[in-house]
Amino acid sequence: MILRRTVFIILLSIFLMVGGFMLYQNAFPRPAPPSFETFTEFEEVHDKSIYGYHPDSVYVDSFTMEWNQTLGDILYPYGVSHQQIAILAERAKDVFSVRSLRVGKRAGLIRDNHNGEVIALVYEPSAYRYVKYNLRDSIYAEMINRDYETCIEEARGVITSSLWAAMDQEGFKHALIVEMEHALAWSVDFHHILRGDIFKLIFEREYIDGEPVGIGKLAGAYYKNNENEYYSIYFENPKYSGYYDEEGRPMKKAFLKAPVQYSQVRISSRYNLRRFHPVLKRTRAHYGTDYAAPCGTPIIAVADGVVLKAGYTSGNGNYVKVRHDDVYQTQYLHMTRFASHVKPGVHVKQGQVIGYVGKTGLATGCHVCFRFWKHGRQVDHLREKLPPPDPMPDEFFPVFYETRDSIKARLDAIPDPVML
């Protein structure tokens, strides 16, 4: 009888202990591991490694960073302690701060194939590199640059409505479209391109593990508009590295033709001394050129200069005025906001972002009104004959001609595209 009572008391004690522990677990549950999609693509890489690990020893839980996701949200559910996470965050500061993790970027947990232990967290700021936050043995962070291959490729297209539409239809990356604009923007007026115009390109495409990851240098570009043909050849010399025409003259001029990229805008109103103002509802001279673009589109300085003003008026809205030399000044109106560095006295470079398209002041829609001043008087910049760039030093012409002939021959060998 005594034995039975003793056994009963022991069993009851065990039940109460287990029940109490379960109640504690339910009251303070450990967060469940995030839902990850197993990433298997790395099994196909050339060196058969996964972020430098042998594929037989690890596997990767791949995921995309979510909004407000922290290091603790990722690692704690897998048994990594708060102390380890704090140490990792501190030691990663000088490599790649964990505060710089961004939503939408690719990441992955590397875990041991045998026991599931987290070995490292990897995060990819870009396709060309990744950060490894190591958690095995010692805690540290390192940035690793990926090896990539560069291939020379060709492209061609025909204009049906716009350059952007033609290149986008062919599946060309945004970076290639922008680079083509840079190569030809000083000789081709992309606001007046015609249906049936053709273009050809020779460019570098970069690959990692057989997958395209980016566009490199645009070696050459060709554009035919009506009967006019334009070539742009990339060439490097100590004086200037960039695009040259067939005669070795820099394609880059002292001034860009527009304060926004051509692929993103259209001219909605020109310089007109007798324009009917859409807000004031009366005839009023328009001393600028309006470029309609989505609000937030970057506005760039058309030439090197110094910011004279960055402020607000009821008519101009947020605007910036830049002095380029003793002759020329430019003005950019109706911005939604300025670039963070822009203020009076700051030097800006050609192509540098100085603000963003908006509709502040007397504006009915998102656009930038671009104004061009010459000797203190506003003029139509599209009709101005602007100063030419400095020519290439004579000693580089022989090498340039060899490069030009090679690129030009390859461009000419690309068959002309046909409009369907």
| The model scores a pTM over 0.85 | no
pLDDT for 119:
92
266 plus 378 within the same structural domain? yes
273 plus 365 within the same structural domain? yes
Residue 373 parent element (H or E): strand 367-374
| Residue where one domain finishes, among candidates 117, 145, 173 | 145
| Residue where one domain finishes, among candidates 88, 117, 145 | 145
| Residue where one domain finishes, among candidates 102, 128, 145 | 145
pLDDT for 158:
86
Assigned domain for 241 exists: yes
Rounded Cα–Cα distance for residues 188 and 228 (Å): 10
183 plus 204 within the same structural domain? yes
CATH value at residue 128: 3.10.450.350
Between the alpha carbon of residue 153 and those of residues 150, 157, 172, 215, 307, the distances in Å are 9, 14, 12, 10, 41
377 plus 269 within the same structural domain? yes
| Cβ neighbours for 66, distance < 8 A, ≥ 6 positions apart | 103
Assigned domain for 306 exists: yes
347-381 pLDDT per residue, tens = 999 889 999 999 998 888 899 999 999 998 888 87
pLDDT for 402:
95
Rounded Cα–Cα distance for residues 343 and 144 (Å): 37
Assigned domain for 3 exists: no
Q: What is the DSSP string of 280-305?
A: T-SB--B-EEEEE--TT-EEE-SSSE
Assigned domain for 295 exists: yes
133 plus 41 within the same structural domain? yes
Domain tally, the chain: 3
- Are the beta carbons of 87 and 103 closer than 8 angstroms? no
306 plus 335 within the same structural domain? yes
For the chain, give percent helix, strand, coil, nearest 5.
Answer: 25, 35, 40
Assigned domain for 20 exists: no
Q: Has residue 1 got a pLDDT over 70?
A: no
Domain, as residue range, for 364: 262-383
108-148 pLDDT per residue, tens = 999 988 888 899 999 999 999 999 999 988 899 999 999 99
Lowest mean pLDDT among 251-255, 330-334, 384-388: 384-388
Q: Has residue 27 got a pLDDT over 70?
A: no
210-264 pLDDT per residue, tens = 888 888 899 999 999 877 899 999 998 887 788 999 988 888 777 887 888 765 5
pLDDT for 48:
57
pLDDT for 33:
37
133 plus 183 within the same structural domain? no
Strand 288-292 vs strand 266-269: parallel, antiparallel, or unpaired? antiparallel
Structure token digits, residue 65: 């960073």
Assigned domain for 166 exists: yes
99 plus 172 within the same structural domain? no
379 plus 400 within the same structural domain? no
Assigned domain for 299 exists: yes
- What average pLDDT is seen over the chain? 81
- Look at residue 371 and give its three-state secondary structure: strand
Q: Has residue 191 got a pLDDT over 90?
A: no
CATH value at residue 348: 2.70.70.10
Share of the chain above pLDDT 90, in %: 40
266 plus 371 within the same structural domain? yes
Q: Has residue 29 got a pLDDT over 50?
A: no
Assigned domain for 103 exists: yes
42 plus 127 within the same structural domain? yes
Q: How confident is the model at residue 9 (pLDDT cuts 50, 70, 90)?
A: low
Nearest Cα to Cα of residue 146 among 48, 52, 43, 39: 52
303 plus 328 within the same structural domain? yes
Q: Which tops the pLDDT comparison, 77 or 277?
A: 77
Between the alpha carbon of residue 228 and those of residues 147, 187, 196, 223, 277, the distances in Å are 41, 11, 13, 8, 37
Backbone dihedral angles phi then psi of residue 249, each to the nearest 5 degrees: -90, 135
